[in-house]
Amino acid sequence: MPIKLVTTVADLHSQSAQLLTDKNGTSQGLVPTMGALHEGHAALARTAVEQNDVVVATIFVNPLQFGDATDLDRYPRTLDADLALLEAQGVDLAFAPSVEEVYPGGEPLVRITSGRLGEKWEGASRPGHFDGALTVVAKLLHYGTPGAGLSAGKAVDSEGAPGGLPAYRAYFGQKDAQQLALVRRMVSDLNFPVEIVGVPTVRSADGLALSSRNRFLSDDEREAALVLSRALRLLEERAKAREPLDLESAQTMVQSQPLVGLDYFDVVDPDTLEPLAENCRETPFRGEALALIAAKVGPVRLIDNMPLSS
Ligand code: AMP
């Protein structure tokens, strides 16, 4: 089916409700994105299409989560290509609102606070980033609620008891591990009625995690950036082999690449993102952890991560 594009919340509600009715659907999936879509986003969309009767993707470059106005201005915008990619995955509806549609009263006074979990790692070098990201994710999760455009009577069964409410799932990439952890916490701490589904990171054949910002890398910088995924793979192999992680040698490997300015590279608890204790890194690896890395390569800040398990 051809994808439908809507730009207002009212149209999103009426069109998604219509689709649910037409398809006799019992589930709706939401895929929030900032556009400039690539195979990583396609994986999110495909997973959502596999798991839901109706799928809505959102395309919105959220000014609230950009500290730097230049970064916001130069963020790539490729709507036609994005719609084609989403349609090819079977997405029903694309919601691409204006900034005024999402923030009709200007910047919101009241926001979601990401708390301690939002202050470390990416949050440390991008103050306010996660508050802005969670605020828009909260709004998008509300907009995408299935049945929001149905008349009240349709969300209850004939006896008037709550029933027949469609399942609601939202899809986020493991690539942005801290964002995924924060969205999971927001949804559980604040009781959002939605299931959050994490989708594994999609990489190019040489290992580089796909990102809309990779297009700003020169050939040399792109080559240099491969050291991030190589270092993560090294830790993954050591973890699988139940060897000591020896994080320091992996850090040295990244630091020895002259075009790469390492910001952080650590091994953390996958839920709290607190660094593992020193002794866990030096003894043979057991259990579950997450390796997080961020670096500046040329003009681009790159992040990547790798789940570790043995
Ligand atoms: P963005 O448009 O960059 O805000 O990303 C939208 C969603 O796509 C987020 O949930 C990201 O985590 C996810 N995403 C971005 N890149 C990848 C990737 N390489 N693999 C999997 N998911 C990704």
Q: What is the CATH number of domain 212-309?
A: 3.30.1300.10
Ligand 1 atom 14 nearest Cα = 173
CA–CA gap between residue 122 and residue 181 (Å, rounded) = 12
Tell me how far the alpha carbon of residue 15 lies from the centroid of ligand 1, in angstroms: 25
- Per-residue confidence in pLDDT tens, the chain, 310 aa: 899 999 999 999 999 999 999 999 999 999 999 999 999 999 999 999 999 999 999 999 999 999 988 889 999 999 999 999 999 999 999 999 999 999 999 999 999 999 999 999 999 999 999 999 999 999 999 999 998 766 544 544 444 445 578 999 999 999 999 999 999 999 999 999 999 999 999 999 999 999 999 999 999 999 999 999 999 999 999 999 999 999 999 999 999 999 999 999 999 999 999 999 776 677 888 899 999 999 999 999 999 999 999 9
Whether 212-309 and 4-199 are alike in CATH topology: the answer is: no
In the 8-state DSSP scheme, what is residue 215? G
Structure tokens at 243: 């060897």
Domain coordinates of the chain in residue numbers? 4-199, 212-309
Ligand 1, pocket residues at CB < 6 Å: 33-34, 40-41, 43-44, 172-173, 175-176, 199, 201-202, 209-212
Structure tokens at 216: 């700003």
Report the chain's terminal Cα–Cα distance, integer Å: 43
CB atoms inside a 10 Å sphere around CB 249: 12
pLDDT for res 68: 87
CATH level 3 topology of 4-199: Rossmann fold (3.40.50)
